[in-house]
Amino acid sequence: MTTINDIAKMANVSRTTVSRVLNNNGYVSESARKRVMKVVEETGYIPSVSAKSLRTKRSGVIGVILPKISTETASRVVGGINEVVSKEGFQILLTDTELNHEKEIEYIRLLQSRHVDGIILLATNVNDRLLHAIEESKLPFISLGQELPGVTSIVYDDYHAAVDMTTMILQKGHEKIAYIGVGEEDPAVGVLRKKGFMDTMEKAGITVEENWCSYGDFSIESGYESMKQIINSNRENPPTAAFVVTDRMAIGAMEYLKEQGYRIPGDIAITGIGAAVMSKYITPPLTTIDYFNKDAGSKAAELLLEQLQGKNTRKKITQNYRLIKRDSV
């Protein structure tokens, strides 16, 4: 490996001057600059980022903590983040918690040890130890998808999205609406979306029977099973519509209904949330809500870069959404 010292010797200057040339600061004569550049190009010298970041305490790396790496949402968000930070010369260091809350904390510390300049967390839960770890890290921090107290957060408007969707279903004349959700460990998807649905139903004067509710784990299969359960336990009084909290589970639910010969939306209407690419191409195309995940990622990145420049703006931003009406309801 060639180092800055080698370059200095070859160009007949001190390493200080080489550093100045490379970083474009301080006074350097034109002749010295040229000599250095020439040697740098000839040797293909690449400065050591470890040494640099040991000295400067900055690494040019943004840490991203994902709940699950290979999901459509995650890859959209990461795409959005990357689009913004790569322009500024930053790289992304990816970590995947596999939905393990302990790992969130572990990774914050790990990213910290790697001297990342900031962290974006796709949050799925809130707890004190997590908040404490964030506080301790003293790093610019963005939470995406859940609001974390004291941390700049970008949240989806889960409550109102669910309200709008439910309202629309009601307007179509449905009254017997089933609910397929996820567990309440997830404050956004599990709690807020449910609350939006329930509140709206209540306001319409409709009570949601407990056996019209079922819960899955985000997977397509769990959507299938949830719908199966609802249908089986309501043979004599089946719902005419189902509000499903994610597109994937909605697709699973549709799969079961189609298998059983139900017509969608004729016999049962279905809605999802998330605007998965798939939602547009299944039959019938799924009515869903677009959360603009990529934009949310970009936004998160922008806020992080702002914080990096010292603007200490602790904010909460609510990402907007769009109801996409298609043929499933």
Binding site for DNA (CB under 7 A): 1, 3-5, 12-17, 19-20, 22-23, 25-32, 46-48, 51-52, 54-56
In the shown chain, the binding pattern of residues 15 to 44 toward its own copies, with x for contact by CB under 8 A and - for none, equals -----------------------------x
Q: Select from 79-87, 154-162, 227-235, 310-318 the region that touches its own copies (CB under 8 A).
A: 79-87
Query: Could you say whether residue 82 binds its own copies (CB under 8 A)?
Result: yes
For the CB of residue 14, give the shortest distance to DNA in the complex, in Å: 3
- Rounded distance, CA 311 to CA 314, Å? 9
Which of residues 94 and 170 has its CB atom nearest to its own copies in the complex?
A: 94
Report the residue from 4, 13, 65, 74 that binds its own copies according to the rule CB under 8 A: 74
| Amino acid code (one letter) for 166 | T
Q: DSSP string spanning 179-205?
A: EEEE-TTSIIIIIIHHHHHHHHHHHTT
Which of residues 51 and 204 has its CB atom nearest to DNA in the complex?
A: 51
Q: Which does 310 bind (CB under 5 to 8 A by kind): its own copies, DNA, none?
A: none
- Rounded distance, CA 38 to CA 249, Å? 59
Which of residues 26 and 79 has its CB atom nearest to DNA in the complex?
A: 26
Q: Which does 13 bind (CB under 5 to 8 A by kind): its own copies, DNA, none?
A: DNA
Report the residue from 76, 193, 228, 299 that binds its own copies according to the rule CB under 8 A: 76
| DSSP β-ladder status, 288-290 and 322-324 | antiparallel
Nearest Cα residue to 328 out of 259, 233, 258, 277: 258
Question: Coil, strand, or helix at residue 158?
Answer: helix
Which of residues 24 and 312 has its CB atom nearest to DNA in the complex?
A: 24
Query: Could you say whether residue 78 binds its own copies (CB under 8 A)?
Result: yes
What is the per-residue burial (b if ≥16 Cβ within 10 Å, else e) of 255-291? bbbeeeebebbeebbbbbbbbbebbeebebebbbbbb
Residues 260-299 close enough to bind its own copies by CB under 8 A:
277-278, 281-283, 294
- Rounded distance, CA 96 to CA 107, Å? 9
| Amino acid code (one letter) for 108 | I
Which of residues 27 and 281 has its CB atom nearest to DNA in the complex?
A: 27
Query: Could you say whether residue 115 binds its own copies (CB under 8 A)?
Result: yes
Which of residues 32 and 77 has its CB atom nearest to its own copies in the complex?
A: 77
- Rounded distance, CA 12 to CA 36, Å? 9
Residues 49-68 close enough to bind its own copies by CB under 8 A:
49-51, 53-54, 59, 61
- Rounded distance, CA 278 to CA 145, Å? 22
Length of the chain: 329
CB 119 within 8 A of CB 111: yes
Cβ partners under 8 Å of residue 100, min gap 6: none
Query: Could you say whether residue 305 binds its own copies (CB under 8 A)?
Result: no
By CB under 8 A, name the binding residues for its own copies: 44, 46-51, 53-54, 59, 61, 69-72, 74-76, 78-79, 82, 86, 91-96, 109-110, 112-115, 136, 220, 251, 255, 277-278, 281-283, 294
